[in-house]
Structure 1
Amino acid sequence: MLFYDFEVFHDDWLVVIIDAATKQEHTFINDEQGLIDFYNEHRNDIWVGYNSRHYDQYILKAIICGFSPQEINHWIIVKREPGWKFFRDFWKIQLFNFDIMTNKFRSLKQLEGFMGHDIRETSVSFETMRKLTDEEIQEVIKYCRHDVQETMHIFAENIDEFTSQMELLKMFDLPLRHISKTKAQLSAFILDAKQPNIPRNDEFNYTLPDTLQINKYTEVLDFYKSAKSFPEPYAEIFPTDIAGVPHIFAWGGIHGARQNYYGEGYFLLIDVASYYPALMIEYDYLSRNVKNPAKFREIRDTRIKYKLAEDKRQAPLKIVINGTYGAMKDKYNGLYDPLQANNVCIGGMTLLLDLIEKLEPYCQLIQSNTDGVLVKLNHPDDYYLIDDICYEWEQRTRMELEFEEYVKVIQKDVNNYILIAENGKYYSKGAYVKKLNPLDNDLPIVNEAVVKYFIDGIEPEETIFNCTELLKFQKVVKISSKYEYARYGIRRMSENVFRVFASIDKNDAELLKVRDGLASKIGYTPDRCFIVNDDVRGMKVPSKLDYWWYLDLANKRINDFLGHED
């Protein structure tokens, strides 16, 4: 397995390749033939990169096909055209490329920052319009090598992404070239889905499930029946109260929650098992482009069997069944079928509304989301009544419900909440309280302070002021391409990713983003900060760290949850 990364300048290019097995590094500088010879020796290896699906693989293929790296770089970076459009025969070049980028909104440097690693960028500008000096070349090699090594770290953190995809190829006896496909593309291929030659043009001819029984909230059904007649149906929304809870019905799932709710008692989280795949199977909402719909049911059933047996083979099958819905709205995917996508979404929302309507007289609705509801029982013994109501709904709709029990709920809104079980374990969702990991590690001390306050009753001051690990106070920011540059005080910065810390030192300044000469604040950053873009792992908190800034932010988030004014 090879990890690689290209750097392309006006008059120079280079690539660093590291063999994961031997740890041997290969560097090619303006050496087309050397790289082509290396590729020919390793054409059967898997090549791993970050964003290599959209960039690096096309630089390599362009060199193999006789184009200059600068031509294809200009095509992708400046003209913002997809690499595959540059030359129609690129697909003939065998390259088993695996892209470890799972979130297109996160750059490699941001992930490096979250891990606490060095995120300093090369001082050699990519706008340099001349040959690079030997010293500049060496600096770029060092920078490129670092990014390849970081790609290897990210691969290790996301190893399940690779192993599940490889297992999927094995399970369906697919050639290795499919390692390059996205999950949605792979789903379409496995299901043998191909778009028809003639567009269907029936996107809004959706129908409601024939098992639906709604008697009280019929205005929701009226909304979906009428929305299709509007010039821009997707712009239409329907806000309404359901079971005493504000809801919004639109095109992305049902969402409703009691704002700033805090409660103790007996709660049930009632989720529909594998909801969207089940709707596709039971109501024939699967993409009409699938050649053999029975295959989708077989994959779903096999995955359930593996999951119950705690068999790891359930993970790759999850890719297929969960990726299918999103692909039905992707006009470049073989599964593209927006009518069926609408049927799934509207069917899911209205059937869940059906369940809420049946439960409403016997419990209190706390929140509803795309595939489930959270309710508070009036008395623990009401469990059996609720179970009977749910059983009737399951039998009628052919869906399956799963129950989880909780004793405390702290809820800011439908997207931010903490559910606490009797044994003290908890589930949290939302930027304020989610459980962080090495690749998603922004302001960790603030999350920790908020969660400990609600779970353990520990005051945020204790969590924050007793922490001496600098990494936990980091805020990683990226200046998007919408802005021209970042400014620190009066100094124009050449980087676009920064690790900032709140400061009490009056010599420190504010980091701002600049567009059209106007500077604006970056969200959740202090008015005075210091920047540490080198490795911060193991660093201790310096005396100038502004603990109070983090405490104020933690208290604000706690108050946001409780609905208190600052």
Structure 2
Amino acid sequence: MKYYIYDLETFPNIFTCVMQNAQTKELRVFELSIRQNDLAKLLKTLQWLSKTDKILVGYNNLNFDYAVLQYLYKNANNYDLNELIYKTFLFADELIKNNTIYKEDKNSILLKQLDLMKIHNFDYKATRVSLKVLEVNMCMDSIEDLNFTIGENLKTDEFDNLIKYNKHDVEATLLFFNHSLESIEFRESLSSKYNEYMLNYSDTKIGKRYFIRNLEEKLGKDICYINGKPRQTVRNFLNFGEIIFDYVKFESFEFQALLKYLKKQYTNDMSKVFSSIKKEDLEELSSFCNLNAKNEASSLHLNYKGFSFYFGTGGLHGSVEGKFYDQSDEYLIIDVDVASYYPSIVIQNRLYPEHLGAEFVDIYKEIRDMRFSYKKGTSQNKMLKLALNSAYGDTNNQFSPFYDYKMTLSITLNGQLMLCMLAEKLMSIDSVSLIQANTDGLTFKIDKKDKTLYENISKNWQEFTGLELEEAIYKKLWIRDVNNYIALKENGEAKKIGAYKYELAWNQNHSCLVVQKAVEAHLLKGISIEEFIHNHRNKYDFLLNTKATKNIDLVLEKVYSLEKTYVKLPNTIRYFISKNGLSLKKILPPLNNTSEQRVIGINVGYKVELCNKIEDFSYEYLDFDFYIKEAYKLIEPFKQKQESLFDFS
């Protein structure tokens, strides 16, 4: 009963606020306009919400809706109604234009807030997603967009449409609130336990906050911050020779050349180490790299026994491309990952930011051990995992009290080299063929008769490094590249990565998921692409979506008597590929003052029909061929490239 979903709309001549109780679904509309004055009711409601400790739930409400409510409340008696509406609009418009990060006004009414955008970390550029796109991804029956130009005076007969839109946004926010209940309950329990309001903390912030609390409790309250500023270790250079662990050794000349190159690096510019490297700087390593016309390696890599290892500041990667592996009586496909790789490297090698001291490792280990005492999936396990990962990640964050880039590089660089040590040993077995190397593991093919050799190498590596390997046996593996593959495990589970995955995060594009589902059914169950797609009956899986960005319009193109006209569309659209629709285009501004607007096609060669209302979907007009062709694009890389006992290429 304590959560109330809300959303505001502000125009020069009308202000609306819709609130809905998350549990009872009771809904209230407050309108300030020439036809309706609900100001007194709204102010009284806000006072009641504040007094009874209710929580207002919104999407981006901390930086917009809450700020607007506070402004309106604070100025309610300073202006007449029409001027108050207009002044509130100007305040809201300024917030949007300046992308203001709002700070709570202590002189206005204080209302507890829960911002779903903050919880999911969608308020950063890299992860940002609008409520409209979430409506699409949540498969809402109707995707509503504002039909009015921001800043215009609305006509009285348009007021009801605005309120309808306002209600729809509250409905969408409530739906996302329900999808977020587990995350909210997790934050409620932490807030209660630590007597700190954590409802608007992202997962990363929760982990970081927990770690800082532990440091302050054991090492003193000034260990992380002094006068509000983070303590840090800032370095003018990094000596790779000191960073690489003494026990990192190789037997082959190729890997020894790599190690020699890395150990001589003395810089704070990682781009010089890992990209555009001149042949003379590579020295012996140049013999095992691909050099371009400038006699440079575009990235740091090593070609070893037919496999290319790529190195960077983030982690190791490398993969065969466009191949299918099928377990047989003769060989196995094995995938090994290092359990909790980076945290384990920290603990085993006692790595810590210099300004925090060696006690950092002891606290880090306590948290890691505590995490393993809770079952996977529990809120305690999740929070402790976040604490470990955020502490490591923030060693590369210039605004964090964990900042010490030497520690970051100590973890990632040695992590890559230790995996290479494992790979080198495995590749000494004649029957081993390396398939993939990624940040924390390897995938390889091996004759069953050599499994004992692999097990001994694995055991020795684990004892030597103090790290733990987790093994999975694949029955089948289709790998397009290191970031895109699908595997069938011996236990029947499917592992889908990149283009083959359809269980997506809320901020990812959920367009035409029928394609990935058809590919999975075809590869794992032998169902033909055509049969699956023609018989699939989840309408939402056929839908695509796109969003207009700043200064770009989405349009449908009509052609009549060789004349083209364009019908402007909402900023966020959902649609399906149709046999009798229209061409979808986007119109971009001119490149200069003299050129014309640019018109670029979307899904070129196909027609589309809008489906912002699911009732507009039609199997009769659906162009099944489009989806079938898209599915075949995902399986095309594996044709004629099956690995077998008799394939020695």
Q: 2:575 is matched with which residue?
A: 500
Encode CA deviations 1:52-103: one digit per residue, 9 max, x unaligned: 344434434444565954455344421234334xx78699956342425444
In 1, Cα distance between equivalents of 2:256 and 2:517: 43
Identity of aligned residues (%): 24
Q: 1:312 and 1:530, CA in 2 relative to 1: closer, same or farther beyond 3 A? A: same
Q: 1:460 and 1:78, CA in 2 relative to 1: closer, same or farther beyond 3 A? A: same
Q: 1:552 is matched with which residue?
A: 629
Q: 1:251 is matched with which residue?
A: 313
Deviation at 1:411, TM superposition (A): 0.3
Deviation at 1:290, TM superposition (A): 5.7
**What secondary structure is seen at the aligned counterpart in 2 of 1:83?**
coil
1:183 aligns with 2:203: yes
Q: 1:111 is matched with which residue?
A: 134
In 2, Cα distance between equivalents of 1:34 and 1:290: 54
Deviation at 1:200, TM superposition (A): 1.8
Encode CA deviations 1:94-127: one digit per residue, 9 max, x unaligned: 6342425444333221121123321121212224
Q: 1:97 and 1:154, CA in 2 relative to 1: closer, same or farther beyond 3 A? A: closer
How many pairs are equivalent? 551
1:491 aligns with 2:491: no
In 2, Cα distance between equivalents of 1:500 and 1:107: 18
In 2, Cα distance between equivalents of 1:530 and 1:421: 40
Alignment of 1:457-472 (within 5 A): 457-472=526-541
1:360 to 423, 427, 441: 427
Alignment of 1:168-317 (within 5 A): 168-170=190-192, 173-192=193-212, 193-194=224-225, 196=230, 200-202=234-236, 204=238, 207-216=243-252, 217-225=255-263, 229=267, 233=271, 236=275, 237-265=299-327, 266-287=332-353, 293=360, 294-307=362-375, 313-317=380-384
Q: 1:261 and 1:198, CA in 2 relative to 1: closer, same or farther beyond 3 A? A: closer
Deviation at 1:367, TM superposition (A): 0.5
The answer to whether the Cα contact below 8 Å between 1:254 and 1:349 also exists between their aligned partners in 2 is yes
Q: What TM-score do you get using the length of structure 2 for normalisation?
A: 0.77
In 1, Cα distance between equivalents of 2:493 and 2:171: 36
Gaps of 5+ in 2: 33-37, 77-86, 213-223, 276-298, 558-564, 591-596, 642-649
Q: 1:333 and 1:230, CA in 2 relative to 1: closer, same or farther beyond 3 A? A: closer
Q: 1:344 is matched with which residue?
A: 411
The answer to whether the Cα contact below 8 Å between 1:196 and 1:289 also exists between their aligned partners in 2 is no
**What secondary structure is seen at the aligned counterpart in 2 of 1:406?**
strand
Q: 1:542 is matched with which residue?
A: 619
**What secondary structure is seen at the aligned counterpart in 1 of 2:250?**
coil
Q: 1:76 and 1:197, CA in 2 relative to 1: closer, same or farther beyond 3 A? A: farther
Q: 1:39 and 1:252, CA in 2 relative to 1: closer, same or farther beyond 3 A? A: farther
Give the stretch that moved more between structures: 279-288 or 137-146: 279-288
Deviation at 1:351, TM superposition (A): 1.8
Encode CA deviations 1:315-363: one digit per residue, 9 max, x unaligned: 2322222333333333344444433223322222222222212222122
Alignment of 1:523-542 (within 5 A): 527-535=606-614, 541-542=618-619
Deviation at 1:374, TM superposition (A): 1.0
Q: 2:221 is matched with which residue?
A: none
Deviation at 1:528, TM superposition (A): 1.3
Q: What letter corresponds to residue 108 of structure 1 in structure 2?
A: L
Q: What TM-score do you get using the length of structure 1 for normalisation?
A: 0.87
Q: 1:232 and 1:299, CA in 2 relative to 1: closer, same or farther beyond 3 A? A: closer
Gaps of 5+ in 1: none
Deviation at 1:413, TM superposition (A): 0.4
The answer to whether the Cα contact below 8 Å between 1:96 and 1:176 also exists between their aligned partners in 2 is no
RMSD in angstroms over aligned alpha carbons? 3.2
In 1, Cα distance between equivalents of 2:355 and 2:108: 24
Q: 1:77 is matched with which residue?
A: 96
Q: 2:169 is matched with which residue?
A: 147
Q: What letter corresponds to residue 620 of structure 2 in structure 1?
A: S
Q: 1:491 and 1:335, CA in 2 relative to 1: closer, same or farther beyond 3 A? A: farther
Q: 2:284 is matched with which residue?
A: none
Deviation at 1:241, TM superposition (A): 2.2
The answer to whether the Cα contact below 8 Å between 2:325 and 2:477 also exists between their aligned partners in 1 is yes
**What secondary structure is seen at the aligned counterpart in 1 of 2:194?**
coil
Which structure has the greater CA radius of gyration?
2
2:112 to 87, 92, 95: 95
